[in-house]
Amino acid sequence: MPKGDKYVDLTRYLQNCGLDTLTLTFEEVANIVGGLPSSVYKYPASWSDSSGHSFSYGWLNAGYSVKGDIKTKQVVFTKKERGIKLDGINISDMRSLAAAEEIYWTEHLALRLRERNIKRADVIACIQNGEIIEQYPKDYPYPSCLILSLLPNSKPIHVVASIGDNNVYIITAYYPTLEKWENDYKIRKADK
């Protein structure tokens, strides 16, 4: 079960509310998710982005941070600007998530990596050391980008990835060729 599945109703509620800031009572949150752990009524730390409680993924997966007050029994959800900036994906955010091993690998991707003889370590090294050379802000379900890096053997690698639900989603990875790319592997050759 992916992180926060139990609290997916809170994720959907926040995603659909259309607000940058939203204040709810603990009771309102409990009604949305069908009940809350008893710890949220006792411990202020329960209402933090790093609480470790699975219910925190309800707001994290929606892109919100939280501040709860056990005295007033209210919680304030604030929309985070993580990962996507006005000019596209921020490589620093992607590196932080990759370093924390918040990476989503699909079976399809694993097959492509095997076919292309690309190791997961090479993909991560590309994210950690590379530069974004293209942005795809209209990709669905999350905007994505193309990252270029040189591996230790000086071989160029391209990784297409996105950020969503506080994870890095690796879409594909490949070794670019001079047939399709200019000598710097940053610019596509024009179709003839």
Let me know whether 93 and 165 are in one domain.
Answer: yes
Task: Judge whether 136 lies within some domain.
Answer: yes
Model confidence at 142, pLDDT cuts 50, 70, 90, reads confident
Q: Is the pLDDT of residue 114 over 90?
A: yes
What length does the chain have? 192
The token pair at 165 is 């639900």
Place of tokens 């994290």: 60
pLDDT bin (cut points 50, 70, 90) of residue 145 is very high
Does residue 183 belong to any structural domain of this protein? Answer: no
Average pLDDT over residues 24-38: 90
At residue 160, the pLDDT reads 95
Q: How confident is the model at residue 79 (pLDDT cuts 50, 70, 90)?
A: confident
Is residue 189 one of the residues assigned to a domain? no
If asked whether residues 100 and 166 sit together in one domain, one would say yes
Q: What is the amino acid identity at position 191?
A: D
Per the structure, the complete domain to which residue 52 belongs is given by: 5-79
Are 109 and 103 a contacting pair, CB within 8 Å?
no
Which of 51, 53, 63 has its CA nearest to residue 13?
Answer: 63
Residue 120 or 80, more confident = 120
Whether residues 137 and 72 share a domain: the answer is no
Mark which of 21, 54, 79 sits at the end of a domain: 79
Same domain for 37 and 102, yes or no, is no
- Could you tell me if residue 53 is inside a domain? yes
Q: Is the pLDDT of residue 87 over 70?
A: no
Q: What is the pTM of this model?
A: 0.56
Same-domain status, 166 and 120: yes
Q: What is the mean pLDDT of the chain?
A: 84
Least confident of 14-28, 35-49, 108-122, 166-180: 35-49
Residue 169 lies in a domain: yes
d(CA 44, CA 69): 7
Q: Does 52 share its domain with 30?
A: yes
CATH number at residue 141: 3.30.2310.40
Pair (89, 75) in one structural domain:
no
> Chain centroid to CA 7: how far?
18
138 and 119 fall within a common domain: yes
CA pair distance 28, 37, nearest whole angstrom: 14
Q: Find all residues with CB under 8 Å of 64, minimum gap 6, and list them.
A: 14, 77, 78, 79, 80
Considering 14, 48, 79, which residue would you say is the last residue of a domain? 79
Contacts for 70 with CB less than 8 Å, ≥ 6 apart:
40, 41, 42, 43, 44, 47
Same domain, 88 and 155: yes
Are residues 107 and 71 part of one domain?
no
Average pLDDT over residues 63-76: 88
3-state secondary structure of 24: strand
Judge if 88 and 170 occupy the same domain.
yes
- 10 token code pair: 């809170």
Residue among 73, 71, 70, 92 at smallest CA distance from 81? 92
The amino acid that residue 47 corresponds to is W
- Do both 96 and 162 map to the same domain? yes
Q: Say yes or no to pLDDT of 185 above 50.
A: yes
Instruction: Pick the last residue of a domain from 54, 79, 104.
Output: 79
